[in-house]
C-alpha cells in the first residue's frame, strides 16, 4: 500500500500545458466547502498540506501532490463558487479530464453527507467523468455530524443517486473511512 503520509506538494496549474501527466493520478472533486482540503489533510496525516479555508472558492488552481514519487494526488478547485475572469471551472476541468483515464486512474467526488440530493454541479461533474470514462467513487464527508436517523435517511437516498460504485463514508474529524480510502487509492494507481 502507498504511504500517503509521504505526500508532497509539487505544483499548481490552471492550463492543460502545465498539468502533470507523467504518473497516474487520483483527483479530489467537490463543491466549495465540502471538506475537500480537510479530508486530504486527514488522508495524508498532515494538517497543513492542503490549504483549508472557510471562504468558498478560495482554491482556483489544480494542485498536484506527489505520493512517494509513484503517483499524484490532485486537489481540484471547489465548484459552485468558482470565480475567475480568465478561466472558468468547467473549461479548466474539461482540459484536465482530457488527460484521460490512462493518467487519471480515479476521481473522488466529495458530497456533504448532510445533503440528501445531488446538486446540478455534482451531476455535471459526474457526467464529465462519464464522458471521459474516468472511474469515480463518491465520498460522503462530515459523517460525524449525522445522528443515527440522519445516517439512515442518507443510506435510503443513496440508491436514487445511481452511483457507479459503493460510496465511502468519511470524517476528517474522527478518521472514519480514511483507511478504506487509502486502500482504494493504492489499488487505483497500481
Query: Taking the model in full, what pTM does it have?
Result: 0.90
The domains located in the chain, with CATH, are 4-188 (3.40.50.300)
pLDDT at 118: 87
pLDDT at 144: 92
Q: Which residues pair with 106 in a beta bridge?
A: 26
Averaged in consecutive runs of 10 residues, what is the pLDDT profile of the chain (190 residues)? 88 94 96 88 81 56 93 90 59 92 96 88 91 94 92 84 86 94 94
pLDDT at 167: 92
Amino acid at each position: 500500500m502507498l504511504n500517503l503520509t509521504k505526500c508532497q506538494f509539487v505544483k499548481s496549474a490552471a492550463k492543460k500545458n502545465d498539468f502533470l501527466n507523467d504518473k497516474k493520478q487520483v483527483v479530489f472533486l467537490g463543491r466549495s466547502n465540502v471538506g475537500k482540503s480537510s479530508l486530504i489533510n486527514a488522508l495524508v496525516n498532515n494538517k497543513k498540506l492542503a490549504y483549508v479555508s472557510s471562504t468558498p472558492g478560495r482554491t482556483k488552481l489544480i494542485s498536484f501532490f506527489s505520493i512517494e514519487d509513484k503517483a499524484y494526488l490532485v486537489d481540484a478547485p471547489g465548484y459552485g463558487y468558482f470565480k475567475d475572469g480568465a478561466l472558468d471551472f468547467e473549461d479548466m476541468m474539461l482540459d484536465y479530464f482530457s488527460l484521460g483515464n490512462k493518467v487519471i486512474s480515479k476521481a473522488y467526488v466529495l458530497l456533504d453527507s448532510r445533503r440528501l440530493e445531488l446538486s446540478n454541479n455534482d451531476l455535471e461533474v459526474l457526467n464529465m467523468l462519464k464522458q471521459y470514462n474516468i472511474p469515480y467513487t463518491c465520498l460522503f464527508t462530515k459523517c460525524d455530524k449525522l445522528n443515527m436517523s440522519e445516517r439512515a435517511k442518507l443510506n435510503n437516498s443513496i440508491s436514487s443517486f445511481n452511483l457507479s460504485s459503493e460510496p465511502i463514508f468519511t470524517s476528517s474529524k474522527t478518521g472514519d473511512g480514511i483507511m478504506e480510502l487509502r486502500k482504494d487509492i493504492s489499488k487505483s494507481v497500481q
